[in-house]
């Protein structure tokens, strides 16, 4: 055998022995290490992130006491006002007319009551009852026209607008019902005065008429006294729609909204997959685009009714108060 062949065979054998020895040593020392620890219950911190915007925590609407028109407007959108500042003034012509009509109806009711209580001859009783009936018919006509006109506006409005108009519609409907009841009472009073033996009922009806007309007069006077629309507290004015001299106003629909800029909240839109992890009074951190610092706060309200976001996802509005 040649020397090169013997050397090559020796090197190969050495390599095989080395590999085998290394494998044997690795197999002997490659044992898994197992650690033992005591199981315990610990809180799991979960962070919920959501986008949103700043909203006013304290705002109040400024409402007209009765239907009418604006005589003057003292402020513009965005103006800063103090509590009690006059924002606009109603035209008092229709309000003064309402006071005069209410006073006349009350005087007629007092006269009817005096006639019944003092046993004035039937002719006088009938005159007072006829006056009360005429006033009641006038009230019914006015109430029906107001309700019909507003009902037409309500039917022509969008669903969103109708939501804000329902309270006024109910008020006008109640006024119509009350006027109908007053008319029936006046008709009943006149009929009762025709029967001499039912003076007691006539006295009760007369007393009720006095009470009703007294309340109507007080309401008309209060409406006239509230012709100046004032700010309920200090803040910034927001104007709704067209607000100018000659513009019409409706009870229950705000002419202005006053916002307190010192009390703001953050309204976040939390996705439905994360809302289960949000509860009232939880701590929160708010980051605003206009500031580099973050603001600490806490959850004050979790809305139970979901909304659909602009991207088509379902979310729940969550209000967060800001400490700053």
Tens of pLDDT, residues 248-298: 998 889 999 999 888 888 888 998 888 888 989 988 888 888 888 888 889
Pairing of strands 248-249, 235-239: unpaired
Chain segment 180-218, per-residue pLDDT in tens? 888 888 777 777 665 554 566 777 888 898 999 999 999
More confident residue, 131 or 195: 131
Of the chain, the percentage scoring pLDDT greater than 90 comes to 25
Instruction: Report which secondary-structure segment, H or E, holds 136.
Output: helix 122-156
| Separation between Cα atoms, residue 77 and residue 258, nearest integer Å | 10
Mean pLDDT of the chain: 81
76 vs 85: CA distance, rounded Å: 13
Q: Which pLDDT score, from 0 to 100, does residue 168 have?
A: 80
CA distances for 301 relative to 45, 50, 58, 206, 278, angstroms = 21, 15, 14, 53, 10
Pure H helices in 157-198: 159-193
pLDDT tier for residue 15 given thresholds of 50, 70 and 90: very low
Higher-confidence residue of 35 and 70: namely 70
Query: What's the pLDDT score for residue 50?
Result: 83
Tell me the sheet residues that pair with 296: 285
Residue with tokens 């007309």: 213
pLDDT of residue 256: 94
Contact 105, 212 (CB under 8 A): no
| Alpha-carbon span 196 to 202, nearest angstrom | 10
Q: Over range 224-230, report the average pLDDT.
A: 94
Close Cβ partners of 193 (under 8 Å, ≥ 6 residues apart): 116, 122, 125, 126, 129, 202
Which residues fall within 8 angstroms of residue 174, CB to CB, at 6 or more apart?
none
CA 295 – CA 57 distance, rounded (Å): 16
- In this structure, of 28-32, 113-117, 135-139, the range with the lowest mean pLDDT score is 28-32
**132: its two tokens:** 């009360």
Maximum distance among all Cα pairs of the chain, rounded to whole angstroms: 162
Q: What region, left, alpha or beta, does residue 84 occupy, with left being phi > 0 and alpha being psi -120 to 50 degrees?
A: left
């Amino acid at each position: 055998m040649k020397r090169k062949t013997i050397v090559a065979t020796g090197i190969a054998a050495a390599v095989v022995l080395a590999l085998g020895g290394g494998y044997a040593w690795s197999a002997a020392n490659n044992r898994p290490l197992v650690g033992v620890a005591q199981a315990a219950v610990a809180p799991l911190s979960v962070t919920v992130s959501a986008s949103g915007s700043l909203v006013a925590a304290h705002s109040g609407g400024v409402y007209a006491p009765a239907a009418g028109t604006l005589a003057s407007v003292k402020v513009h959108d965005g103006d800063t006002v103090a509590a009690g500042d006059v924002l606009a003034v109603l035209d008092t012509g229709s309000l003064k007319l309402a006071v005069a009509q209410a006073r006349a109806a009350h005087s007629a009711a007092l006269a009817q009551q005096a006639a019944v209580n003092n046993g004035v001859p039937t002719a006088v009783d009938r005159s007072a009852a006829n006056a009360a009936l005429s006033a009641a018919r006038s009230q019914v006509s006015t109430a029906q026209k107001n309700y019909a006109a507003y009902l037409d506006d309500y039917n022509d409005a969008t669903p969103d607008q109708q939501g804000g108009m329902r309270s006024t519609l109910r008020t006008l409907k109640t006024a119509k019902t009350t006027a109908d009841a007053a008319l029936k009472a006046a008709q009943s009073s006149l009929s009762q005065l025709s029967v001499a033996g039912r003076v007691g009922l006539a006295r009760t009806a007369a007393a009720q008429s006095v009470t009703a007309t007294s309340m109507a007069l007080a309401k008309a006077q209060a409406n006239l006294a509230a012709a100046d629309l004032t700010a309920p507290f200090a803040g910034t004015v927001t104007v709704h729609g067209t607000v100018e001299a000659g513009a019409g106003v409706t009870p229950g629909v705000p002419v202005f909204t006053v916002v307190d800029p010192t009390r703001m909240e953050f309204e976040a839109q939390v996705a439905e997959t994360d809302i289960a992890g949000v509860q009232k009074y939880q701590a929160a951190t708010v980051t605003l685009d206009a500031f580099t610092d973050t603001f600490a706060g806490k959850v004050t309200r979790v809305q139970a009714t979901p909304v659909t976001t602009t991207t088509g996802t379902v979310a729940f509005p969550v209000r967060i108060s800001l400490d700053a």
